[in-house]
Structure 1
Amino acid sequence: MATWSPTAFVRGLASLRAFANAEPELSASARADFPTTWTDEQFPWMNATLMAWTLHGREDAEGRTAADRQLLREGQRLSRAERGLLSALAASWCSVFEVEEVRLGQGLRLRDLVLDEVLEVKERSLTTQVTRYDLIASWVMPTEDHLELVGGIVSIPRPLREHVVVAARHAFATHQQPPADDVPGRRRQARRLAPFLFTRVLELLTTERPLLNFEDEPLRLCTARFRIRHPAKVEERLRRHDGFTREGKGLYNWEGPRAAVWGSLTVEGKVLVLTTYSAQRLEKGKALLEELLGAEAEHEEDTLGPEKSVRGEPARALPDDAPPQLADAFALTLAQRAREELARGIPAWGGRSASDLVRSTEGRAQVLEWLKDWESQVSHLSDAADLLWDDLYAELGLSRDERIPLTQVYTSKEAPSLEPIRAELTTTELPEDLSLEPLPRRRAFQDAAQRKPRRKPPAPELEPGALYAFKLGPIDVGVDGRTSIYVAVTSEGEALPPVFERRDAKGLEGLARDNAELKRYCESRLARAGAAHGFASRPMPDSVTRFRAALALQMHWASVEPGLMVMPEVTEALLDATAALIRAEPWEEWTNEEVFTVHLEGAVRGTRELSVMGSGGSEFGFALFDRAGSVERMSMSGLPGGNVDVLIPDSLGVTLEDAPDWVVKTVKDVTGLPFVPDVMRVQRNTPRLGNAEELVLAAAVAQALALARPEEREVDVELKVGDLQVRVRLEIPLPLLTGSYVGKLDLLSLATRRPKASHAPTRSLPTKKVSETLLEFAKPVLDDVEDSEDPQAELFTCLALALSAWNAVVQDTWEPEKGWVERARATLTRMPRDVREMMLHDFELLVERKRRHFADDPRLLDALDIVQRPDDLGVRLAGVVTPGAWSEFVGV
């Protein structure tokens, strides 16, 4: 193991830096080896690399680094740890490394692509940031029994692999080579390349590279403006032409070969604008429009934007907060595309397929490196495609663990130059930023709720005459930095006065003072600091775990509203109820517009209105409004803007957050879910934190909402905490816009296990597909779908409402439990006015249409999905004959 602690490392590095600063001429020479300037924010690793070169990279005339010189001059008066650190730094070297294996939280297996060594490196933080086959340039130092990374670390995009590695290997080869068995000598030789290596990487990442389309034309935003005589005639001709696809009202895509978007057309009033991504295509588009429109369009002017370029190598990436499902889908798509390209043949390989190339030694190396390039990019998105990669390697007779000699991989005589980047844009406009729009951040508690709760073994309670110490924090306290709170609980349940300190040893010393007669225990992370004060580590008792979470929440709330005091049993009830709410995920069933009616008895009485938050993916929880109609008033008031304030109705809001971390951890230890509940009371447009009575009310309502099921009409819950008792009766609305069946039947089971007929049916089953039937049934409400801003989303909403109306009529007609149409109508009646009137009108029309024109169809519909096809939108759903109609239609 290393002979120095992290503190000793920082202290030793500071001492070495002071030693180097005392040699200004040598420091100036080291600085002169690097570029004159760079952007600190964009390239912070250059600063760290320059410091590494100054302290333990650049050699003097005698071949010694600053670390060597300090060890030689001051070694006798240095501690063992400081001498060990200086020796390790003096033996360090830099290179380009390929990640061969990642052991999360433990270390990396790296391959030195200059020296062709395989290294086992102990490292923690980097294991969460890199994946197999990533490339990094960094410094490595040997300690007594392992290697560690030190200095600046820079990630190198794999498409720039040859540009960096070939240049570094050639630079290494130009110097006199130490013998192959002289490992320290070869490493010193590689270390001397540091200025060249990191300058080369900086140049590659800062060089402007032109963007070209697949016809080698520069990408630039170009427009042509036309004055048109009769907009309706123009749009009619555009719709008829095969090269233009209507995307919305007055908007058309101009498609070229290979599904590339060559441009777009917009028609607004009597103005037509053609937008393209190259000057050549603009001319082609103008000629096409002149031929198609003739005298209907008169050209007015052209606008040519600057040619586009990018720096470095653009990566295939998604936003950090992209949903896991999107990342999985993107990874699978890229892996499948790699498979197709290998089968089709790579142009750079003369069109030869991968299966043909792997037969030769050189071709095998090419295919393996090509696979690494792709897999490295895909693995940063998701591991969903791992099985596809496994199959692909196996099909080609390759192995991920295969290590081909670098002389067969890097055969170029000189480093390649940077080529322009070729791409076809598939959007209707050239964006300033080529990244995707940020999506709502998925919360950690959402993912945790999908996993089966872990059962922790119960920890025994404290024996009499003992105390247990734990730590809350570290907590950011603003200008004073960060501090922690140290708390001890006795076996009788008494909490000792907390101690506020920055260091564990000081905090535990304060708790041990005046408690010498008590046996002392602590959590494992305090064991080292607590040993000197008589603390022994042991698992935290369950009662202490729950008390700690309640105390953490209490302190978190008090930081917002000083003086707020809440009993631990109230906090525990709230945590249990909100954890159940997260696992139930009511926001997956109901939108914030489908209003619950809440009847309260006990400590709080009256009838209130509840709206679920979370269907939009940004804020999760619920709002309990004091008066009926509040949801409608909120929707009508809109968002605040300018100098206009929005009046927030009197309400109790419960939101589920995932910060601060020190509170989240304590809550997770109790509930298994990483979250923090916040309860906010709004009265007279003034918000404050909820008091004890309101927290119990919030817990009772959360408990009821967690038990709510769409197929049930209501749920009844009673909660008693201390002297406070609250009863909640929740009237449950029907979720009408999910595109799913709502009822008490298991449609999947019915579809696969329908009983055999016992007699001849008296009526015939419909033969038309359920998708065609639903589209025909919903036709009267689909008129404006194409002209909406998002036709796919609008089509889903309209068909989801139609599906709900259809199912409600089927259930009322054939199933024993009635009243589904009335429940749906009641749900719509409680919606805000801006959506209620239109949806209620459409619902009544659909119900009447089902009863008049589709009355003989007994199928229940489920699993609605809208799919994007090359030329239009498609509909998928399932249909199952309801059991109540089996006797007539199936003969059961």
Structure 2
Amino acid sequence: MSERNDITGLLAFIGREGDWRDRLQAVVAEHLMPALEEFEIDEDGLADLLGEQWSGVLWGCGFEDFLGQRYEDGNIVDLYLKRRGWKETVLNRAYFAALRDAPVSLYEVSDVQPGTSMVLRDLLSDAAPVMVREKSATRTLKQWDRIAVRVVPERDHHVISGALLPFRAEAVDFLFAGLRDALKLKKRDALRLSHDQLMGCAPIFTSAWLFIEIDRALTPEQPQFSNSDGDDVLFHDLRYPLTSGVTQKAVAERLDRVKDFQPEGAKFWNWLAARKERGGKAGGSIMLDTQMEGATVLGSVELKGKTLLVTVNSAERAAKVQTLISAAAGDLLRAPLTTIRTVEQMRADQQRDGPRKEADEIPPEIARQFMRDHLDKHYRETLDAPIPALGGKSPRQAVRTAAGRAKVIDWLKMLENRSAGHGEGPIAEYDFGWMWVELGLQEHRK
């Protein structure tokens, strides 16, 4: 811990001064109580719910806000430095004075150098991005993360304060709505706050973070999955027994005639979309689908012994493929037996069965290259695919307008940020730089 972060003397001073101690508690309560009252929990319950590690950070949000408060009889930092400043180091005195005047704001993280520095762009002002020196936070923060923190000037560089809150996308939206409401701004008004406005709105940052995090902890979000048709994902395995006396060859000849069945060997077909799909739901669900030769794979069809096995990922596709198979080979097959599995059940089956033997035989570097190649192919196809977040336009179409470019930039940042959040491995390591260049947006990747 560096000297500038030593608040021991200041805390002891506040503790001895009754009015200032009560004022600190009142400011901390202003940060915490709206959420605690809404969810009917106390501070002990909050620590149990979110984890002890957040108790200190949340208290720190209130404490740092308190340091900037001006009362009729003055400011606590001014008073402390006047009476006890002689006991502090030069660094501590300068840090307290700078922290007193530094407002909290929401920053976008970029150019992270783990253990060294990162660049922060203030999302609530037009100030130029600033490079801050930071060791611990840069080891966990990823490109395009958003954080609420105070940026403090220190000699010839900048540092961040100790109270840092990472903001999820929904927390950002909640914060922006709260700030607009507090400042009586309309939706079309630019959300640009002055220094004094940010200083006065500090509790809104903590409350916005708490409301989202408490809600998530109490009601863990279940991921929603859809396919490229917008159908809810529900895996259907259809098993058609072959009619007595019917051979695989006879069924295969019929299936070969189905226009949308692409053969892959003598006994296997990919069911491909007849046209390019319009993309999945716009409501934030995760899209599960596979692309092949520019078309979406709607399902698979395979002959196994005396059975025709069909696998699709939605009830709607199951109904469609049954119609196709009935028309092509209905007289050669009996009624299908259908097994339905959710995404969670599919994962549980895969974990129970264990990894395939072949997977263990693939060297890690080759496996990583396979994944990089797959991601390259996937994202190249994505540039020409309709994206719900872009209003149903493809990224190449959307960048043709100023409004569309802004949406594509946010979309690219979301892709990079989610990819970086996968920890270690080829997904986290994937370099999206070529996509920014391909779309002519490389100057915005800073």
The corresponding residue for 1:598 is: none
CA contact (8 A) 1:141 1:148 kept: yes
Question: Is 1:147 matched up with 2:159?
Answer: yes
The corresponding residue for 1:189 is: 200
- Of residues 262, 281, 300, the one that matches 2:298 is 262
Aligned ranges 1:633-782 → 2 under 5 Å = none
CA 219–126 in structure 1, closer or farther in 2 if over 3 Å, else same: same
Secondary structure at the counterpart of residue 335 of structure 2: strand
The corresponding residue for 2:247 is: 233
Equivalent position amino acid for 1:32 in 2: M
- Structure 2: distance between partners of 1:263 and 1:69: 67
CA deviation after TM superposition for structure 1 residue 111, in Å: 0.6
CA contact (8 A) 1:328 1:382 kept: no
CA contact (8 A) 2:236 2:311 kept: yes
The corresponding residue for 2:182 is: 175
Equivalent position amino acid for 1:4 in 2: E
CA deviation after TM superposition for structure 1 residue 326, in Å: 5.2
Map Cα deviations across residues 397-434 of structure 1 (whole Å, 9 max, x no partner): 862478xxxxxxxxxxxxxxxxxxxxxxxxxxxxxxxx
CA deviation after TM superposition for structure 1 residue 113, in Å: 0.7
CA contact (8 A) 2:30 2:203 kept: no
- Structure 1: distance between partners of 2:131 and 2:372: 29
The corresponding residue for 2:279 is: none
- Of residues 120, 123, 126, the one that matches 1:116 is 126
- Structure 1: distance between partners of 2:114 and 2:386: 36
- Of residues 227, 242, 251, the one that matches 1:213 is 227
Secondary structure at the counterpart of residue 323 of structure 2: helix
Secondary structure at the counterpart of residue 110 of structure 1: strand
- Structure 2: distance between partners of 1:92 and 1:371: 31
TM-score, reference length from structure 2: 0.61
Equivalent position amino acid for 2:88 in 1: R
Question: Is 1:284 matched up with 2:320?
Answer: yes
Secondary structure at the counterpart of residue 150 of structure 1: coil
The corresponding residue for 2:3 is: 4
Equivalent position amino acid for 2:150 in 1: V
CA contact (8 A) 2:264 2:270 kept: yes
How many residue pairs get aligned? The number is 371
Secondary structure at the counterpart of residue 399 of structure 1: helix
The corresponding residue for 2:148 is: 138
Map Cα deviations across residues 102-144 of structure 1 (whole Å, 9 max, x no partner): 3454312211112333333111244454454x12223224253
The alignment yields a C-alpha RMSD, in angstroms, of: 5.1
Considering fraction of residues, name the structure with more strand: 1
CA 328–16 in structure 1, closer or farther in 2 if over 3 Å, else same: farther
- Structure 2: distance between partners of 1:211 and 1:46: 31
Question: Is 1:392 matched up with 2:392?
Answer: no
Secondary structure at the counterpart of residue 99 of structure 1: strand
Aligned ranges 1:478-877 → 2 under 5 Å = none
Equivalent position amino acid for 2:230 in 1: D
TM-score, reference length from structure 1: 0.34
CA 192–239 in structure 1, closer or farther in 2 if over 3 Å, else same: farther
CA contact (8 A) 1:16 1:70 kept: no
Secondary structure at the counterpart of residue 116 of structure 1: coil
- Structure 1: distance between partners of 2:206 and 2:162: 16
Equivalent position amino acid for 2:162 in 1: V
Aligned ranges 1:310-321 → 2 under 5 Å = none
CA deviation after TM superposition for structure 1 residue 290, in Å: 3.3
- Of residues 47, 51, 55, the one that matches 2:59 is 51
Q: Which has the higher contact order (CA 8 A, sep 6+)?
A: 2
- Structure 2: distance between partners of 1:277 and 1:340: 21
CA deviation after TM superposition for structure 1 residue 213, in Å: 1.9
The corresponding residue for 1:382 is: 429
Secondary structure at the counterpart of residue 192 of structure 1: helix
Equivalent position amino acid for 1:392 in 2: E
- Structure 2: distance between partners of 1:181 and 1:218: 39
Map Cα deviations across residues 424-464 of structure 1 (whole Å, 9 max, x no partner): xxxxxxxxxxxxxxxxxxxxxxxxxxxxxxxxxxxxxxxxx
CA 239–109 in structure 1, closer or farther in 2 if over 3 Å, else same: farther
The corresponding residue for 2:33 is: 32
- Structure 1: distance between partners of 2:398 and 2:81: 62
The corresponding residue for 1:98 is: 108
- Structure 1: distance between partners of 2:116 and 2:104: 21
Secondary structure at the counterpart of residue 235 of structure 2: strand
Map Cα deviations across residues 649-697 of structure 1 (whole Å, 9 max, x no partner): xxxxxxxxxxxxxxxxxxxxxxxxxxxxxxxxxxxxxxxxxxxxxxxxx
CA 25–77 in structure 1, closer or farther in 2 if over 3 Å, else same: closer
- Structure 2: distance between partners of 1:398 and 1:268: 50
CA 190–152 in structure 1, closer or farther in 2 if over 3 Å, else same: same
Map Cα deviations across residues 239-273 of structure 1 (whole Å, 9 max, x no partner): 75245567799876544446434334566665555
CA contact (8 A) 2:32 2:206 kept: no
CA deviation after TM superposition for structure 1 residue 281, in Å: 1.9
CA 196–228 in structure 1, closer or farther in 2 if over 3 Å, else same: same
Secondary structure at the counterpart of residue 120 of structure 1: strand
Equivalent position amino acid for 2:443 in 1: S
CA contact (8 A) 2:262 2:272 kept: yes
Equivalent position amino acid for 2:33 in 1: A
The corresponding residue for 1:540 is: none
- Structure 1: distance between partners of 2:416 and 2:205: 28
Map Cα deviations across residues 689-742 of structure 1 (whole Å, 9 max, x no partner): xxxxxxxxxxxxxxxxxxxxxxxxxxxxxxxxxxxxxxxxxxxxxxxxxxxxxx
CA 255–184 in structure 1, closer or farther in 2 if over 3 Å, else same: closer
Question: Is 1:365 matched up with 2:406?
Answer: yes
- Structure 2: distance between partners of 1:16 and 1:280: 69
Identity of aligned residues (%): 18
- Structure 2: distance between partners of 1:251 and 1:111: 52
- Structure 2: distance between partners of 1:16 and 1:343: 62
CA contact (8 A) 1:221 1:305 kept: yes
Equivalent position amino acid for 2:130 in 1: L
- Structure 2: distance between partners of 1:116 and 1:40: 39
- Structure 2: distance between partners of 1:50 and 1:356: 40
CA contact (8 A) 1:231 1:267 kept: no
Equivalent position amino acid for 1:214 in 2: S
- Of residues 284, 299, 317, the one that matches 2:335 is 299
CA deviation after TM superposition for structure 1 residue 191, in Å: 1.9
The corresponding residue for 2:88 is: 80
Gaps of 5+ in 1: 310-321, 403-892
CA contact (8 A) 2:271 2:300 kept: yes
- Structure 1: distance between partners of 2:307 and 2:438: 52
Equivalent position amino acid for 2:298 in 1: W
CA deviation after TM superposition for structure 1 residue 201, in Å: 4.9
Secondary structure at the counterpart of residue 175 of structure 1: helix
Gaps of 5+ in 2: 40-44, 185-190, 277-291, 346-362, 421-426
CA contact (8 A) 1:123 1:148 kept: yes
Equivalent position amino acid for 2:175 in 1: A
